[in-house]
Structure 1
Amino acid sequence: METGTENDSKYNSLETMTVAELLRNINNEDKTVPIAVEQALPQIEKLSEAVAIQMRKGGRLFYIGAGTSGRLGVVDASECPPTFGVPFDWVVGIIAGGDGAIRKAVEFAEDDDQQAWKDLQEFDINTNDFVVGIAASGRTPYVIGGLKAANEMGISTGCIVCNNGSAVSAQAKYPVEVITGPEFVTGSTRMKAGTAQKLVLNMLSTSVMIQLGRVRGNKMVDMQLSNNKLIDRGTRMVMAETGLSEAKAAKLLKEHGSVRKAVDSVR
């Protein structure tokens, strides 16, 4: 039986549409995605709280996925250190086929149900850690196998999928199901399903990091000062929190290396 994300598009004869019609119809489909995410908020809440509990124990968050889903996990993981100033190995994105698959698809990588666990073992995964499988269809063998093995080893598991009642969800202790339905181009889950997964990943990592104290007020006080834009932003944040002049705030930021430490040194 075909799953929702694989069902035929509601639109046909796409090649006969004007560009304006194509864009309008894609946009109309995209508008449905945040509504689908909203329906899953209770599931996302449970997942976020469970991840934070494990990370407070010193655990790490692992994302496993193939294709677009795997790439989205890698993107979210790679953005946590610069945004929240956490070590690079707190959140880890693993894609079927290895890092080369980020740029170029690796044939049949997603069909190996043993490989995800092998990939996770390279990080000395343990029972403090948390594994989230990402799969639009919810039937990717790489993800199913990885979650199944994690469960057998007593490691907490979650998932982000875009179909109901999937095999991936069945393996996840904390499943998130965002039901996005058929794509504009039939089966092209990089579109609505990918957008939904990106939104959920934003919510998950951000809410977890806030629970872990990596945001103060509404500011990224632990962000890495890795370019001039971020140094300027950090300087303004220190000025706002301390009332110091720009020159003094910049000096303090340079001395301490983070907004949090700079502000705390004054307080």
Structure 2
Amino acid sequence: MIACYVQGGGLGHLTRIRAYLHTCHPGETATILTTSPFTADPRVLGPHRIMPAAALASLRPSTLVVDAFPAGLDGELSAASVPAGTRTVYLARLLRWDAYRPRLPDEPIAFDETRLLEDLTPDHRSYLTGRCTPLELTDPPCPPVRDVPDGSWLIVHSGPPPEIHELIGYARDCAAAEGVHPRLVLVSPARPTDLPVDVAHVSPYPAWPLFPTADRVITAAGFNAVRQMAPWRSRHLMLPFPRRFDDQFTRAAAARAG
């Protein structure tokens, strides 16, 4: 059995683990250990089983995959958390390592393998254990989305609402700078109660099938948005937000420079 420890409040952690399982374990069903509220949408994790993160102590997985935070979101994972005989894999993405490092336990997990999903800071890289190899994720296929006109400007964000409004404002500023008046479409799981009347709302999941036909895609600088928009970088408008551990500003700067 594959168990995936996926902690974090946003939708991105679940999107990433689904892509990892599709890329590395196609056709296998995994147990996702998470407390994310986004698991209420059956589209997000598809066939995979969902259990609370605390259930790890009762499982005997053959492989334990830990997403993003090597000791869990708040340092709750240590070597003692890993059932005997379990192979361990760490999915490493960019972190604000100086902020996260104090969460590391005295006896951290010595991972058997680390999959590098993007460039890391030197301090984070020096922490890694086991075999380290880069991994390019592929999202599982999904039906095309047909309810958004081609040429729209998409604002893609799962929340919170204040950030959605910041992205709408950013989209308007960018449109004004280009001298255009595009159709604005918010792509988000829930419609904000105070969404402006001139902004349409749709809630497909995943959102990436809409990207090829959009004139612009406006997002924060989360891992999945930057990864999925890489083929259309010139149409991607990023507004990074501060996060406790995710370094969206460094990611956005690297994407723009690339």
Task: Please give the TM-score of this superposition, normalised by the length of structure 1.
Answer: 0.29
More strand by share: 2
Between 1 and 2, higher relative CO (CA 8 Å, sep ≥ 6) is seen in: 1
Rg larger for: 1
TM-score, normalization: structure 2? 0.30
